[in-house]
Amino acid sequence: MSYLSAEKAESELAQSIKKATSIEETAPKQKHVRKCIVYTWDHRTSAIIWNILKVQPVLSDEVQTFKSLITVHKIIKDGHPNVIKDALRETGWLETCARSVSGEGVRGYGTLIRQYVDLLLHKLQYHRGHPEFNGTFDYEEYISLKNIDDPNEGFETINDLMVLQDRIDRFQKVVFASFRMHSNNECRIASLVPLVEESYGIYKFITSMLRAMHKRTDAADALQPLRQKFNTQHYNLLKFYYECSNLRYLTSLIKVPNLSPDPPSLIDAATPTLP
């Protein structure tokens, strides 16, 4: 519900985007990002956000480009579902971001930016192929039911999700590898926040869906490869979250999920619920 006039809302939005993608090497402030997210729900569109991003000189500076990507990622993730559709039309802009910096760049964000764009494009492709998902991968009963009726489709969906999870894992390693001595790395760490949230959303989704599939199909053998991959990903995430829990700045922003040391059972009926 917005009680601002359209012009005022738009100029405030432009202000928020400007501040979220400012030149300082810090995290995009959550309050500015939140303004953008709330705007997309109020107006059910993100078209203006992209227009503003295009007219602001964010591509002339690596830090600004990187902060724009973090902001865009968060808006896609938590914004109105229409944002995903809008973003799919804006892949060109993302590709431009990747080309805007050559080599390592002056401030060492080159690889980070290119890898981030890759990940975002992959995420968007996933959404294009699976429009029934929202940006945060909330597990919704109807999806699992919808797919269990057709085990092949369920298999496919989980497999694709696992590929996306692997991509996230690869990118977080790039972020960690890019840390610099003698710097608080705040801006780089900021990109880990949506990664932690998103990977956990995917993890919960895969767990719930695999359990549902095990309940419904008696083809436990057919699901063996998925179980194996699930276990591998569990340990990868465990390691990722452990690394994150050592970053004081990150733990001050979000609560890092606490996974059990061993993968949860997918078959046992008395499975503990996910946190």
Angle, to 10 degrees, between the axis of helix 62-78 and the axis of helix 82-89?
140
Tokens of 53: 């991003």
Angle at 73 between CA 71 and CA 75, to 5 degrees: 70
70, 190 Cβ separation under 8 angstroms: yes
Least distance CB 187 / another protein (angstroms): 16
Q: Give 92 or 272: the residue with its C-beta nearer to another protein.
A: 272
Nearer to another protein (CB atom), residue 3 or residue 142: 3
By the criterion CB under 8 A, which residues form the site for another protein?
Answer: 1, 3, 29-31, 34, 37-38, 41, 78, 80, 193, 252-254
Q: How far is the CB of 134 from another protein (least distance, A)?
A: 12
Asked if residue 105 lies in contact with residue 61, where contact means CB atoms within 8 angstroms, the answer is: no
Nearer to another protein, 31 or 89 (CB): 31
Least distance CB 34 / another protein (angstroms): 5
3-state secondary structure 2-61: CCCCHHHHHHHHHHHHHHHCCCCCCCCCHHHHHHHHHHHHHHCCCHHHHHHHHHCCHHHC
- Beta carbon nearer to another protein, 14 or 174: 14
Residue 138 beta carbon to another protein: minimum distance, rounded to whole angstroms: 9
List CB contacts of 82: < 8 A, sequence separation 6 or more.
40, 44, 45, 46
Least distance in angstroms from the C-beta of 137 to another protein:
15
Closest CB to another protein among residues 46, 100: 46
